[in-house]
């Protein structure tokens, strides 16, 4: 990786030199020159230094936008000023497919739109009215209530209101204390959402078995239609997908998700808590998989077949793999011939900055620098990392959930099965952390900011930068194409086999055009923005 590339320690030095000493000392711990196998540590999941322009979002975004947002038949009512609701409205490109006559509330934006007078006199009455109004108009099966920053500051109790309204209206109503400031990032919101769904939804319906091989898919949010592609594969294989948390999902399917035989986890960062609580309460084992990349998809499908240990299922899975890989290989080869040797960087969320490196590898593109916005140390360093005890921002202020030891009929069977699989060498994780899987000397940076981004681009001149909407235009104006790995811009699906093909073709389009070399960076010739006012 060092061939023809700048010395990473020089890049790091120059980045840090600009900061005041104290800040430099702090930031230094979040910038690592990768050395797989050397047990290097990275500082992650800590507060962003005030004044720095971070990529991160807030706790409310993680709870309402990320985890609950993609479920179509629950009304997600935001208790807060209208801006919080407006900025979380349809921006994530999570898709859904309601059946004929089924509810879909995703296209709506529900908010109490609190005003100054509510801040002074309290907003609970307004919240109750909003719940009643939403119920009157839409007759939903469930309503989730989400607190935003000002609500936490004035002390409205969304849990008490939820209980009262549940009693009054006779439907499932539950609240989330997910005020934006509660954690250091979205990550705390994931945790709050996981606890709330586990406590209020999972286990509410003991539905009879509907398939021979029943699974849930956790941490898949159907961005750009990813879940549709995975549903296609499971359907054909004869694997029953009971519930997805939460892409293309219904609250109803979550209610009986505890009757599954196995949980697959895609994005471990956002949903490991539910997986662990489901294992503890219902005995359902979980396997960490990634369906990003054709190779990863093959590995994941085989993991499921291996788990169920059924000859017919395995044969079917192999048949699908063979057929799909034939199609994938044709496109992959053609694209790789043009993209081999190109350099990419990716700074995204809490799992994609790692998962997408697989797709790039498949077409010969190297990731020279990468990092997450809000992941924890285990996401970087690998599965054996002991969580940092110093700052556990995620669990701070979160009501302690006691999992009652409610033994389901099949719980013991599953535990015995897990034991047997472990003895036979079955691995419950399909991938490791970001750092063990990245090349030596690549630069790993947690919670990157604009200054650091600018320097990376200047030094490495990457062929492609992957991040989100806030970074997109600054990077493009520097003459480097940017692919949004959050919303996929207008593309997708990118998961599974069809997704891999879509992604290869998109990369061919983005990496092989010469248009970016023709961009004149505006601030290079015109560093100051001059404004003028028209005065009448
Ligand atoms: S869909 Fe997921 S995959 S849930 Fe998470 S950590 Fe966000 S919204 Mo943006 S794209 Fe991103 Fe991940 Fe898991 Fe998405 S990488 S930042 S909170 N994320
Ligand atoms: C969020 C959602 C986000 C933002 C994406 C972006 C998403 O963090 O609240 O910055 O472009 O995927 O929509 O991560």
- Rounded percentage of the chain residues whose pLDDT exceeds 90: 85
**Active site residue: 58, 134, 294, 305, which one?**
58
Q: What is the pLDDT of residues 197-210, one digit of tens each?
A: 999 999 999 999 99
Are the beta carbons of 351 and 470 closer than 8 angstroms? no
Ligand 2 geometric centre to CA of 104 (Å): 22
Return the residue whose CA atom lies nearest to atom 10 of ligand 1: 486
Indicate if the pLDDT at residue 171 is higher than 90.
yes
**Which parts of 57-144 fold into alpha helices (H)?**
59-60, 82-86, 116-121, 124-138
Ligand 2 geometric centre to CA of 91 (Å): 8
pLDDT at 409: 47
**Ligand 2 atom with the shortest distance to the CA of 61:** 9
Indicate the pairing of strand 214-220 with strand 172-176: unpaired
Q: How far apart are CA 133 and CA 127, in angstroms?
A: 10
Looking at all shown ligands, the one closest to residue 469's CA atom is 2
Q: What angle do CA 41, 47, 53 make, to 5 degrees?
A: 105
pLDDT at 386: 42
What does 92-109 look like in DSSP terms, one character per residue?
Answer: S-B---PPTT----TT--
Q: How far apart are CA 327 and CA 107, in angstroms?
A: 35
pLDDT at 410: 56
Q: Residues 91-105: what's their mean pLDDT?
A: 96
Q: What is the pLDDT of residues 319-370, one digit of tens each?
A: 999 999 999 999 999 999 999 999 999 999 999 999 999 999 999 999 999 9
Indicate the pairing of strand 31-33 with strand 443-445: antiparallel
**Ligand 1 atom with the shortest distance to the CA of 61:** 17
Ligand 1 geometric centre to CA of 38 (Å): 28
Indicate if the pLDDT at residue 526 is higher than 50.
yes
**Residues 6 or more apart whose Cβ sits within 8 Å of residue 490:** none
Q: Is 293 in the pocket of ligand 1 (CB under 6 A)?
A: no
pLDDT at 404: 36
Indicate if the pLDDT at residue 395 is higher than 60.
no
pLDDT at 333: 98
**Active site residue: 79, 93, 182, 190, which one?**
190
Q: Is 123 in the pocket of ligand 2 (CB under 6 A)?
A: no
- Widest pairwise Cα distance in the chain: 82
Looking at all shown ligands, the one closest to residue 66's CA atom is 1
CA atoms within 13 A on the CB side of 525: 5
Are the beta carbons of 372 and 348 closer than 8 angstroms? yes
* From 350, 374, 494, mutation site for ligand 1 pocket: most ligand atoms within 8 A of C-beta: 350
Our answer to whether residue 58 is catalytic in this structure is: yes
Indicate if the pLDDT at residue 98 is higher than 90.
yes
- Rounded percentage of the chain residues whose pLDDT exceeds 70: 93
When pLDDT is cut at 50, 70 and 90, the band that residue 536 belongs to is low
Our answer to whether residue 92 is catalytic in this structure is: yes
Q: How far apart are CA 511 and CA 369, in angstroms?
A: 17
Q: Residues 54-69: what's their mean pLDDT?
A: 97
Q: Is 270 in the pocket of ligand 1 (CB under 6 A)?
A: yes
Q: What is the pLDDT of residues 13-33, one digit of tens each?
A: 999 999 999 999 999 999 999
**Ligand 2 atom with the shortest distance to the CA of 223:** 12
For residue 479, what are its two tokens?
């003459």
For residue 200, what are its two tokens?
């209020």
0.90 surpassed by complex ipTM: yes
Q: How far apart are CA 425 and CA 264, in angstroms?
A: 18
When pLDDT is cut at 50, 70 and 90, the band that residue 432 belongs to is confident
CA atoms within 13 A on the CB side of 399: 14
Our answer to whether residue 500 is catalytic in this structure is: no
Q: Tell me, what DSSP letter sits at residue 258?
A: G
Q: Is 92 in the pocket of ligand 2 (CB under 6 A)?
A: yes
Ligand 2 geometric centre to CA of 490 (Å): 14
For residue 190, what are its two tokens?
């994931």
Instruction: Cite the beta strand spans of 213-285 per DSSP E.
Output: 214-220, 240-246, 262-265
Q: Is 495 in the pocket of ligand 2 (CB under 6 A)?
A: no
Q: Is 495 in the pocket of ligand 1 (CB under 6 A)?
A: no
* From 65, 66, 485, mutation site for ligand 1 pocket: most ligand atoms within 8 A of C-beta: 66
Q: Which of 198-202, 240-244, 417-421, 455-459 has the lowest mean pLDDT?
A: 417-421
Q: What is the pLDDT of residues 303-321, one digit of tens each?
A: 999 999 999 999 999 999 9
For residue 342, what are its two tokens?
């190109």
pLDDT at 49: 95
Our answer to whether residue 267 is catalytic in this structure is: no
Instruction: Cite the beta strand spans of 203-270 per DSSP E.
Output: 214-220, 240-246, 262-265
Looking at all shown ligands, the one closest to residue 370's CA atom is 1
When pLDDT is cut at 50, 70 and 90, the band that residue 245 belongs to is very high
pLDDT at 151: 96
pLDDT at 394: 40
Q: Is 472 in the pocket of ligand 2 (CB under 6 A)?
A: no
């Amino acid at each position: 990786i060092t061939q023809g590339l700048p010395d990473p320690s020089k890049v790091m030095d120059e980045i840090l030199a600009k900061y005041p000493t104290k800040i430099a000392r702090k930031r230094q711990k979040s910038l690592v020159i990768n050395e797989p196998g050397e047990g290097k540590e990275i500082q992650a999941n800590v507060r962003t230094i005030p004044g720095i322009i971070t990529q991160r979002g807030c706790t409310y975004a993680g709870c309402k936008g990320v985890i609950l947002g993609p479920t179509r038949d629950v009304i997600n009512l935001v208790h807060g000023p209208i801006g919080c609701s407006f900025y979380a409205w349809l921006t994530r490109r999570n898709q859904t497919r309601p059946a004929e006559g089924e509810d879909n509330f995703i296209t709506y934006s529900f908010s109490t739109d609190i005003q100054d007078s509510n801040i002074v006199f309290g907003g609970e009455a307004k919240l109750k009215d909003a719940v009643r109004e939403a119920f009157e108009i839409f007759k939903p099966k469930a309503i989730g209530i989400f607190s935003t920053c000002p609500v936490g500051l004035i002390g409205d109790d969304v849990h008490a209101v939820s209980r009262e309204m549940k009693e009054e209206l006779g439907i499932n109503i539950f609240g989330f204390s997910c005020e934006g400031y509660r954690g250091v990032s979205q990550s705390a919101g994931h945790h709050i959402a996981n606890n709330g769904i586990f406590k209020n939804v999972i286990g509410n319906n003991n539905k009879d078995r509907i398939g021979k091989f029943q699974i849930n898919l956790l941490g898949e949010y159907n961005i750009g239609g990813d879940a549709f592609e995975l549903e296609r594969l499971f359907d054909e294989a004869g694997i029953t997908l009971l519930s997805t948390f939460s892409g293309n999902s219904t609250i109803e399917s979550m209610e009986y998700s505890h009757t599954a035989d196995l949980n697959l986890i895609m994005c471990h960062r956002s949903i490991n808590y539910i997986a662990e609580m489901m294992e503890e309460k219902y005995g359902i084992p979980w396997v960490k998989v990634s369906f990003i990349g054709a190779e990863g998809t093959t590995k994941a499908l085989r993991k499921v077949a291996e788990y169920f240990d059924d000859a017919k299922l395995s044969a079917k899975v192999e048949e699908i793999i063979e057929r799909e890989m034939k199609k994938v290989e044709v496109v992959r080869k053609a694209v790789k011939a043009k993209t081999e040797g190109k350099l990419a960087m990716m700074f995204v969320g809490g799992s994609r900055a790692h998962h997408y490196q697989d797709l790039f590898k498949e077409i010969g593109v190297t990731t020279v620098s990468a990092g997450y916005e809000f992941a924890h140390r285990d996401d970087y360093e690998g599965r054996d990392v002991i969580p940092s005890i110093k700052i556990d921002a995620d669990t701070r202020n979160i009501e302690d959930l006691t999992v009652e030891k409610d033994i389901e009929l099949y719980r013991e069977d599953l535990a015995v099965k897990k034991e047997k699989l472990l003895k036979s060498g079955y691995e419950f994780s399909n991938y490791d952390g970001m750092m063990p899987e990245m090349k030596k000397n690549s630069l790993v940076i947690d919670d990157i900011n604009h200054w650091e981004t600018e320097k990376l681009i200047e030094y490495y001149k990457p062929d492609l930068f992957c991040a989100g909407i806030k970074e997109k235009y600054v990077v493009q104006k520097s003459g480097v194409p940017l692919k949004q790995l959050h919303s996929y811009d207008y593309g997708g699906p990118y998961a599974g086999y069809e997704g891999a093909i879509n992604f290869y073709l998109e990369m061919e389009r983005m990496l092989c055009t010469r248009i970016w070399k023709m961009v004149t960076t505006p601030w290079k010739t015109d560093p100051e923005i001059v404004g003028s006012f028209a005065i009448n």
